[in-house]
Amino acid sequence: MPPLNRAQLREVVTAPACALGVKFEDDRIAERITDAAAAEQLPLLSYLLHDMWDGMIKRDDATLRLSSQAIDVGGVLRNSAEDFLAANPTQKTALRRLLTLRLATVPAEGEPVRRQTTREECSEAEWSLAGRLAEYPWRLVVMRERTSDGCIVAEVAHEAFLRAWPRLREWLRDERDFLIFKGEVERAERRWRELDQDERALLTGLDLTRAEEWLPTRGQDLSTVVIAFIQQSIAVDRAAKERQLAEKERQIRFQRRVTVGAVAAALVMLVIGSFAWVQWGEANRSAAEKARAEEMALRQLRKAQLNQSLFLVGVSGEQRAAGDAGTALLLALTLVGRAAVTGRARCRMHGWGTRVGRSAGRPQRQFQAWGLDPRKRRDAQGSASTGRSGRCSKQRRPEQSSARRLNVSLAKRHLRSMPSSSKCRRR
């Protein structure tokens, strides 16, 4: 039924008394009861009126009286709870679980508030106890049908009871951390269902870490839908972490392959560089050895030419001393076509004069001294120039042979023009 207004509440309070012919002790009692009921300070108005009627029957005075503590809802419920524990001391643990875990929730900030519980959330003993507390004379719990879905729910008669009973305040303080988590995860589960179980509404981060810590130890104090919600959050989070781990491992493997490839390429380049360096060194050594061998061969050739020149100088001197000027001249011309004679050979050839030793540098004087035809100077100069180079390479040997043959031919013509060898001796 819909909530009653103040006028309707006053009629509910006064009409039965008028119909039965009884009166209130004070005219203001009906007003106080009506004001308290309108302010929702009285959890069950019928229970209060029933108590006033029982008191009148016991007194047998036809007067409805209201005690000074009847309007103090918290005090009434506190006294009723203490009376229940005194009458049922074995139900203390069950009463604590029912009032703290099922019928109350504690926010992170603020006072505890009442909470509705259903038959599915409670055990058989807890639901049975809630039914007993809703009956007369305890009236600590109210059981009614929820208008949104028609489900039967139970809740404490008034939130003032959560603050008015010291024993209950202590119980709530002891369970504060878990009750804060329990209220938050229940709100998250409702939001998840309202969003059609979207994975983005599941627990993540610190909330999921707290749920994983509480689930093994306090899972029996959570509803089945909340436990399923937590398990779904854990499964989705682990799947996401596995995907991230697989992606990370894939990146690590790729980096390793890149690193191995780079190292292999560096090693290949190092091997190629080392091989090139070795080949370059071998080429340099071969070139150096070849240069040394050529230099040695050139030295040996020069030494042989020098010895041969000295020998020819000696023979020429002997022939000159023996009076054979023609042969001496042929030997001298042979020396002109060869390499330049060293200073030592010039000294040995002093018998022919410095003209023979200097013939490589001044061929014209040489031919003038020997009386050769001036028209042959150019050819003789070419022959002397051939001897000036002093190098015995394969490319220049044909030139030296041609010059030598020319010189011998010129010497023979000159000798034929001379009358006799005695003239050479007189000269």
Give the C-alpha distances (Å, rounded to integers) separating 337 from 133, 376, 382, 390, 406: 146, 15, 10, 10, 9
- Say what percent of the chain tops pLDDT 70: 72
Give per-residue pLDDT as tens, 27-71: 788 887 777 777 654 556 667 777 788 888 888 888 888 776 666
Q: How far is CA 177 from the centre of its chain?
A: 39
Q: Indicate the pTM of the whole model.
A: 0.56
- The three-point CA angle 155-156-159 to 5° equals 120
| Model confidence band, residue 390 (pLDDT cutoffs 50, 70, 90) | very low
Is the pLDDT confidence value at 20 over 80? yes
- Say what percent of the chain tops pLDDT 90: 38
Query: Considering all CA atoms of the chain, what is the largest pairwise distance in Å, rounded to the nearest integer?
Result: 201
pLDDT for residue 203:
94
What is the pairing mode between strands 63-64 and 152-156? unpaired
Give per-residue pLDDT as tens, 115-131: 999 998 898 999 999 99
Q: Residue 96 burial by CB count (10 A; 0-12/13-18/19+): exposed, middle or buried?
A: middle
Three-class SS of residue 114? strand
